[in-house]
Every structure is written in structure tokens, then in C-alpha cells.
Structure 1
Amino acid sequence: MCLYIGRVAGEHQHTHAVSVNADRRLLTAALCLIVAYMAGEVVVGVFASSLALLSDAAHMLTDAASIVLALIAMRLAARPPRGSFTYGLRRVEILSAQANGLTLLLLAVWLGYEAVRRLIEPPPVAGGLVLGTALVGIVVNLVATWLIGRANRTSLNIRGAYQHILTDLFAFVATAVAGAVMLFTGFDRADGIATLVVVALMAKAGIGLLRDSARIFLEAAPAGTDTGALGERLAGCDGVAEVHDLHLWTITSGEPALSAHVLVRPGYDCHRVRREMERLLREEYQVDHSTLQVDHQPAAAAPAAEPYCERSHGPVHRPAR
């Protein structure tokens, strides 16, 4: 039996560490900008009696929380594996993404209720203050979006934070439009309508984060990867008789991993077959971490025989005849 675990080269790890440090600086700068503006927006929102501004501030609070969680998760994920945590703490990032998504949905429910109530009985709103604050918010979010957009968005946390800031940008545009409508027409219900737009964007972002993080926790294959086709490609490698116990999952954002049991036909070099399969996984599926258990097929085994393992997990893949 030939057992091999694919590893990431040291040079790649060094480059990744440099990238993480740069990401931290970019996220910290965006966090400071968001928190400073959010505090001012709450004051103006209360003074102007604008739920749209307060909903924008609430969304910015979740943005700030997501960035803080991302920074904490990045620090914890950098710790080396030890003890019973054989993968280290890299999935802390996914936990923070789930918490962030759930918070977004809870805020969307509360703000949606308040928006409907204000549509029924709209209070007077200072449209000029709403418009001015929203225009400043657009500028602030453009800068924050640019900062986070430069970070590594293969991370679920960073991608989530980026989506949130982008959502805020659209929300501020909606709030600015509502402020202009209230200022020039006196239609106070525009504040509640703008809030519902923000609620829809928050719900969309929250559901997306929960869905993506749940896929990782349930150890589903990376989105867009056809595991059946992958198994057929591996079984089609020269010298392969059968591939079973094929598992493809994601350790954390951007880190897919694969394990499989491979049977090689008699007379073939199992090491050469294993190297060919690793090359295929790396170049076609971007899987750098693979664990392949390679055995020689018993000489008496027929191509259509029962699986080599008594309790094989998942479908069996054999070369096309």
C-alpha cells in the first residue's frame, strides 16, 4: 500500500503569511473608518428621526462586527495545529461568518417590522439631514469598499465583509434618494421604503453567508465542483482500476481537501499513478491537499467485482470501457 499526503510548499506558506498581514492592515483601516462614521450617523439619525439612517447605522454595526470577527479569526487561524485540533483553529473563520449572517437576518426582521409600522403611520423626518448624511456615507463606503476590495476575498469572512460594505453603499444610495424625495416633496413614507430596500439587501447577504458557511460545516464539496465528474477523471488516469471512498470537502475558505482509496492495475507503478492524480487535482480542481491511499488491485479481481472495501463510502468509479 502506498499512502501519501499532499503538502503545501513552504514558499506558499510564507507568501500567505505576508498576504494575511496585509489583509489585517486593510481591514483595520476600513474598520476605523466605518466605526467613526457609524457613531456620527446614529447621532444624526436620532436627531432627524430617520429610521433609514438608523437602519444604515445598524448595518454598519454588523459590518464592523464582521471585520472584528474576521481579524480575530485570522489571528486564531494562524496558530499551528496542536493537541486534538489537528487542523488548528482555521474553522473559527466559518463560525464568525455564521454569527455574522445570523445577526444580519435578526436585524433585518426588526428593521422590517419598524419600516412597515412607519409606512402605516409615518413620523416627520428631516429630509435635508438624511440627504446630507447619506451622501457622506456614500463617500465613506466607497473608500471602505476600495480598502477591503484589495484584500484576499477567497476568505469567506473577507468576502462577507466586502459584500456588506458594498450592500451599505447601495443602501446609502437608496437613503439619499429617500432624503431628496422627503426634502423636495414632503413624502415622509420614502424613509420607510428606503429602509425596506436596506432590509432586503441585509437579508440577501445574511442568507448567503449562512448558506456558504453551512456548506463548509456539513463538509460539502466546494460549490460548483461535480464530484461525480471528478471521480471519473481520477478513474480515467492511466493504470487506475478503481477509485472509491472519494471525499472532497473544504477545511476553511479557499482550502479544499480530498481523500480517496485508489486501486492500481497489476504491473503499474503506484507512485507514478499517484503523482499523475495529484497533478490533475492541483491543476484542474485547485486541490493542493490530498490524501491518496493507493493499493495494487488483486490479480484475481474482475473489473465488475464487488468493491475492494467491504464498507465502501460513496460511489465506486471505474475507467470507461
Structure 2
Amino acid sequence: MSHHCHHDHASGSGFRVLLVAFLITTSFMVVEVIGGLISGSLALIADAGHMLTDSFALALALAAIRLAKRTPDNKRSFGYQRFTTLAAFINAASLLLIVGWIFIEAVQRFIEPEPVMGPTMLVIAIVGFAVNLFAFWLLHRGQQDNINIRAATLHVLGDLLGSAAAIVAAIIIILTDWTPIDPILSVVVSLLVLRGAWSLLKETSHELLEGVPNSVDTEQIAQQMPKELTGVINVHHIHAWQLGSQQIVVTLHVHADGSQSHDKLLASIHRWLYQQFGIQHATVQLEYDQCEQFDCEPHPSHSH
């Protein structure tokens, strides 16, 4: 039972980290919107838009951690563990939309450059960078095996890059008055964010589509188990999927030769699955003959 306690503790600390990051991000987003409107800087308003999705991402992650802890019921026998994956998927999808919006906005700024108050923009961008750096440090310390916290960290990293770009753009505007640097840097940042969002979208889609987790090799289970465990003839009907960031579930049929006692063989199969792949939740169906395929009596000799 010890791993359950550890998991609860981990999700508790994850919740606190996310809550602090959420409060910091949301507060600064308001400052950035006001600053963007005063200075006329699209970079700041775009960064504030980015921070709005950060707040949304963090709020989703917080809700997901709370929901995932709810106990299973008659309607959801696995509980709400998959909700965290769903939240991370929505986060990744929202990042792709924002990147698209920034591209369109940047093109418009190239066509019609607008005046920007460099000094005001610089001050707010520096404060934003400090705020994002702190939020990123907090989240990066959290468990990175939690797909939810990783999604939130990715959002904040995008912000951190956005703030850095805004600082550079502000300095260039102050020194040279060349405003196109603003949209140019916002596109560069968007491309970096796009890469992370795409890989997260692939990973969460795979999990939502009941894909086999990366740590499990069904081919290896089918080939190695009969070689390594006495009493196993073959393994078939193997299905593996992932529930949340922690739990892998496997179901399989094992054709046994009857040389081992039922319970002993079952125990050794569970132990083997755990040692090879870290699988803790396996449903194993033992079959002692293939008679059900031929519709014959299991042991006709005993009927006399």
C-alpha cells in the first residue's frame, strides 16, 4: 500500500505548486494588459493573452488533480484519473490556437507598423520575466512525470520566452525606433512553443486513444514470458493502456501446461510483469487447455 501514500503526497505537493503559480500568473496578467494598453505594445498584449491561457492551463491542472483523487464509483470504475490527460490535451490544443493567432497578428503588424512606447514596455517586460521565471522554477521542481504539471510548465516556458522577447524588442525599439522587431520576435517564440505543444498533443492523444504506454512492449511479453516462466505455453490477447500519469493497466490470456499450481503460477506472472515493466495492475486469465475452441470435454477419461 505504500506507493498509494506516496502518490497522494506527490499530488498534494503538486497541487500547492500549481496553486501558487496560478495566483502569480493571473495577478501579473492584469498588470500586463494595462501596461500593453498604455504603451501601445502588441507584444505585451500578446504576452498577456498567452498568460491568460496559462491561467486557464493552471486552473485546469488544479481541477484535474482534485478530480483524479475522487474515488471510483459505479459509473466510472477507474475514477477520474484520465481527466488529467484530457486537461493536458485541451492545454496543448489551446496553445496551437494561440500560436496561430500570434502569426496572424504579426503579419498585420508588418503591413501596418504601430508606434510603441519602448521604456514602458521594457519595465513591464522585465517584471514579467521575473514573475514567469519564478513560476517556471516552481513548476519545474514539481513532478515532471505528471503530464498535467508538464503541460502547465510548457505554458509558463512559452511565457518566459515571450517576456524575454519583449525585453529584447523594447531595447531595440528604444535604441533604433525599429518597431517590426516586435512581431518578428513574437513569431520566433511561437515556433518554439509550437514544438512543445505538438509533442504534448501527440502524447495525450495516444493516451486518450488507449495506446500502449511507451514503457510496455506487448511483443516482448508474448515472446519472453513463455521462455522465462515455467508452466507457461503461450501468451495472447494482450491489451495495455494507461489511466493517468501513474497507472498502467494490462489484461492478458496465459495458456498454462498445468505443471504449476494455479495460485503459484498467477503470483509468478504478476511478479514477472512488475519486474519487467513496472505493471502493478494486471488482469490475467489462465487457460489450461484450448478445448473451448473445439467444443470437447475437458477430461473425458475422468467421466467413467
Give the share of equivalent positions with the same residue, in percent: 33
Whether 1:97 aligns to 2:80 is no
Q: How far off is 1:206 after superposition? A: 3.0
Tell me the distance in 1 between the aligned counterparts of 2:42 and 2:227.
60
Gaps of 5+ in 1: 1-8, 302-307, 311-321
Residues 283/168 of structure 1: CA separation in 2 closer, same or farther (3 Å cut): farther
Matched with 1:316 is none
Q: How far off is 1:74 after superposition? A: 1.2
Matched with 1:114 is 105
Gaps of 5+ in 2: 295-304
Alignment of 1:73-152 (within 5 A): 73-152=64-143
Matched with 1:319 is none
Q: How far off is 1:60 after superposition? A: 1.3
Matched with 2:278 is 286
Matched with 1:202 is 193
Amino acid at match of 1:133: I
Tell me the distance in 1 between the aligned counterparts of 2:275 and 2:156.
33
Tell me the distance in 1 between the aligned counterparts of 2:271 and 2:242.
19
Whether 1:247 aligns to 2:239 is yes
Matched with 1:64 is 55
Contact 2:11 2:65 in 1 (8 A): yes
More helix as a share of residues: 2
Tell me the distance in 1 between the aligned counterparts of 2:224 and 2:278.
14
Q: How many residues align?
A: 293
* Larger RCO of the pair (alpha carbons < 8 Å, separation 6+): 1
Contact 2:234 2:256 in 1 (8 A): yes
Per the normalisation by structure 1, the TM-score is: 0.85
Instruction: Please point out which of 26, 36, 43 is paired with 1:45.
Output: 36
Q: How far off is 1:225 after superposition? A: 4.0
Contact 1:59 1:202 in 2 (8 A): no
Tell me the distance in 2 between the aligned counterparts of 1:263 and 1:235.
9
Q: Match of 2:228, SS? A: coil
RMSD value, Cα: 2.0
Amino acid at match of 2:140: G
Contact 1:261 1:292 in 2 (8 A): yes
Contact 1:237 1:273 in 2 (8 A): no
Q: How far off is 1:44 after superposition? A: 0.9
Alignment of 1:209-288 (within 5 A): 209-223=200-214, 225-239=216-230, 240-288=232-280
Tell me the distance in 2 between the aligned counterparts of 1:168 and 1:230.
43
Tell me the distance in 2 between the aligned counterparts of 1:214 and 1:55.
28
Matched with 2:298 is none
